[in-house]
């Protein structure tokens, strides 16, 4: 069964203006603007302009001031824009007010992400998760389009007027969510059985995690010598992929790719993709992949760490990997010493999944952890490593 995108984004036809509110606390507006543009590009939307308004807080009705909104309407006419995308979650009343005043389609960042997920979900599990997220998002946004008593239905012999059409729609959505969640639970149980079978084979599981578009799938392709989709787009991977990897020293482990994280991920999506992220609970080692060429890479690290904390995965051994170092040389004001200092500060391994730089050191770090985990299993009681006893990232890096 094919799950359709939300239709908030009309492929190949939409021309959008991106709308931002800069509040005093916003320190990374430039990066947020780039990220929303990347999300729009991933959804196949043509970005024809960006509008920023400095405010102490968003306008409760229109998000931006009414005068600024008139400027937006003029800009939309000049650039033939038919869509406004706001970089924050909008309330149903804000969407209505904006749509009525501008006569343009209005969506927010959450709807844009939902649409991308709908376009990219390929497995049954992925499609179910997307549909649940869509329905949860839609539920509080339903509204009666007609007069209060014009769409009433009552059963034969019913005492009152029965349910309004709006109530019926809400009930149907809740019933559909319940049905899909049962199906998702069944898939989760099947996943758990597969994980138990893998454990019986005694293969350790190494899971790739990281901010979206950090290069996780490219790394999996390189290490496993496979050709899965690895696009320079956000959320290129929604469904987990697992491959068997053998190291030079003969150690064998399972490498799993997962959906990329993103800042302020909508709560509905977090809940919906719980089944996919459950793969991380079977991980023996986490490979945290970071796009070190991104100007806002530190907030990406923090966003991923926050989700790991929410999932209670902070105690799982983790190797921090700085990917895409091949892109650093072309950056203005770059110095190799800056990278060396960062590598030491974070105890990270700098690599390029694309060119293969330092992949041998990454494999060495994985082997070191696998050796420690094997030793723990041989002990009657688990070995709890002190911080200073944990494997250090290899220091003899090639930077280019």
Which of 4-18, 60-74, 76-90, 160-174 has the least mean pLDDT? 4-18
Q: For the chain, how many structural domains are there in total?
A: 3
- Asked if residue 54 belongs to a domain, the reply is yes
Q: Which helix (H) or strand (E) holds 209?
A: strand 204-210
Count other C-beta atoms under 10 Å from residue 95's C-beta: 19
Task: For residue 354, say whether it is annotated as part of any ligand binding site.
Answer: yes
20 to each of 17, 27, 52, 109, 394, how far by Cα in Å?
A: 10, 13, 5, 11, 42
67 annotated as belonging to a binding site for a ligand: no
| Residue 158 covered by a domain | no
Question: Is residue 87 domain-shared with residue 125, that is, in the same domain?
Answer: no
CB 208 within 8 A of CB 289: yes
d(C-alpha 284, C-alpha 9), whole Å: 39
Residue 67: CATH number of its domain: 3.40.50.11060
Task: Confirm whether residue 352 is marked as ligand binding.
Answer: yes
Average pLDDT of the segment spanning 284-304: 92
Can you give the residue range of the structural domain that contains 137? 121-146+164-200
**Has 164 been labeled as part of a binding site?**
no
CATH number of the domain to which 245 belongs: 3.40.50.300
Residue 230 reports pLDDT greater than 60? no
211 and 342 assigned to the same domain: yes
Is 214 within any annotated ligand binding site?
A: yes
Beta-bridge mates of residue 15: 46
Say if residue 217 carries a ligand binding annotation.
Answer: yes
| 324 annotated binding-site participant | yes
| Same domain (yes/no): 261, 240 | yes
Q: What is the per-residue pLDDT across 275-284, written as a single tens digit (0 to 9) for each? A: 567 778 888 9
Instruction: Please indicate, yes or no, if residue 2 is contained in any of the structural domains.
Output: no
Q: Is the pLDDT confidence value at 151 over 50?
A: no
**Residue 393 belongs to some domain of the structure:** no
Residues 113 and 211 in one domain: no
Report percent pLDDT > 90 for the chain.
38
Residues 220 and 196 reside in one and the same domain: no
Do 68 and 194 lie in one domain? The reply is no
Top-confidence residue, 8 or 201? 201
- 68 and 130 share one domain: no
Q: Is 368 annotated as a binding residue?
A: no
Decide the pairing of beta strands 241-246 and 152-153: unpaired
108 or 263, higher pLDDT: 108
* Mean pLDDT of the 12-37 span: 87
The 10s digit of each residue's pLDDT in 177-226 is 999 999 988 887 887 787 777 777 778 899 999 998 899 989 998 988 86
Buried b (16+ CB within 10 A) or exposed e, 230-267: beebbbbbbbbbbbebeeeeeeebbbbbbbbbbbebbe
Query: Cα–Cα distances in Å, from 300 out to 22, 214, 231, 290?
Result: 20, 9, 19, 8
Q: 236: annotated binding-site residue?
A: yes
Spatial separation of the C-alpha atoms in residues 322 and 215, rounded to whole Å = 10
- Residues 44 and 79 grouped into a single domain: yes
Q: Is 397 within a domain?
A: no
Please indicate if the annotation marks 121 as binding a ligand: no
| Tens-digit pLDDT profile for residues 79-131 | 999 999 999 889 989 999 999 999 999 999 988 988 888 877 777 877 888 88
pLDDT of residue 147: 40
Alpha-carbon separation of residue 374 from 200, 204, 377, 393 (angstroms): 15, 9, 5, 19
Residue 238 marked as a ligand binder: yes
The reply, when asked if residue 256 is annotated as ligand binding, is no
Smallest CA-to-CA distance from 222 within 208, 202, 240, 236 is with 208
Q: Are residues 236 and 315 in the same domain?
A: yes
pLDDT at residue 298 in the model: 92
Q: How confident is the model at residue 378 (pLDDT cuts 50, 70, 90)?
A: low
């Amino acid at each position: 069964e094919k799950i359709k995108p939300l239709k908030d984004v009309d492929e190949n036809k939409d021309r959008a203006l991106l709308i931002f509110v800069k509040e005093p606390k916003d320190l990374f507006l430039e990066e947020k603007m780039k990220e929303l543009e990347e999300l729009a590009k991933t959804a196949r939307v043509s970005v024809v302009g960006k509008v920023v308004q400095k405010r102490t807080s968003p306008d409760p009705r229109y998000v931006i001031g009414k005068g600024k909104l008139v400027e937006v309407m003029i800009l939309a006419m000049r650039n033939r824009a038919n869509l406004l995308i706001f970089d924050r979650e909008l309330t149903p009343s804000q969407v209505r007010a904006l749509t009525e005043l501008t006569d343009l389609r209005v969506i927010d960042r959450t709807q844009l992400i939902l649409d991308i997920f709908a376009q990219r979900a390929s497995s049954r599990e992925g499609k179910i998760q997307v549909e649940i997220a869509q329905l949860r998002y839609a539920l509080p946004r339903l509204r009666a389009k007609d007069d209060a008593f014009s769409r009433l239905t009552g059963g034969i012999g019913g005492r009152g007027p029965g349910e309004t059409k709006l109530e019926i729609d809400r009930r149907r959505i809740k019933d559909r969510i319940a049905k899909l969640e049962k199906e998702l639970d069944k898939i989760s149980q099947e996943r758990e059985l597969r994980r138990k079978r893998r454990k019986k084979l005694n293969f350790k599981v190494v899971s790739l995690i990281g901010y979206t578009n950090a290069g996780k799938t490219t790394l999996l392709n390189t290490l496993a010598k496979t050709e899965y989709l690895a696009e320079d787009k956000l959320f290129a991977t929604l469904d987990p992929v697992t491959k068997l990897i053998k190291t030079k020293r003969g150690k064998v482990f399972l490498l799993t790719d997962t959906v990329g994280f993103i800042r302020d991920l909508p709560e509905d999506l977090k809940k919906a993709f719980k089944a996919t992220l459950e793969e991380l609970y079977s991980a023996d080692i986490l490979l945290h992949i970071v796009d070190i060429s991104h100007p806002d890479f530190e907030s990406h690290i923090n966003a991923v760490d926050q989700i790991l904390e929410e999932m209670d995965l902070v105690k799982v051994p983790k190797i921090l990997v700085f990917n895409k170092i091949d892109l650093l040389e072309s950056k203005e004001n770059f110095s190799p010493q800056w990278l060396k200092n960062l590598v030491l500060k974070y105890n990270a391994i700098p690599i390029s999944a694309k060119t293969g730089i330092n992949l041998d050191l990454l494999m060495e770090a994985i082997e070191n952890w696998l050796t420690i985990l094997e030793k723990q299993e041989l002990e009657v009681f688990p070995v709890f490593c002190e911080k200073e006893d944990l494997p250090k990232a290899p220091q003899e890096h090639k930077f280019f």
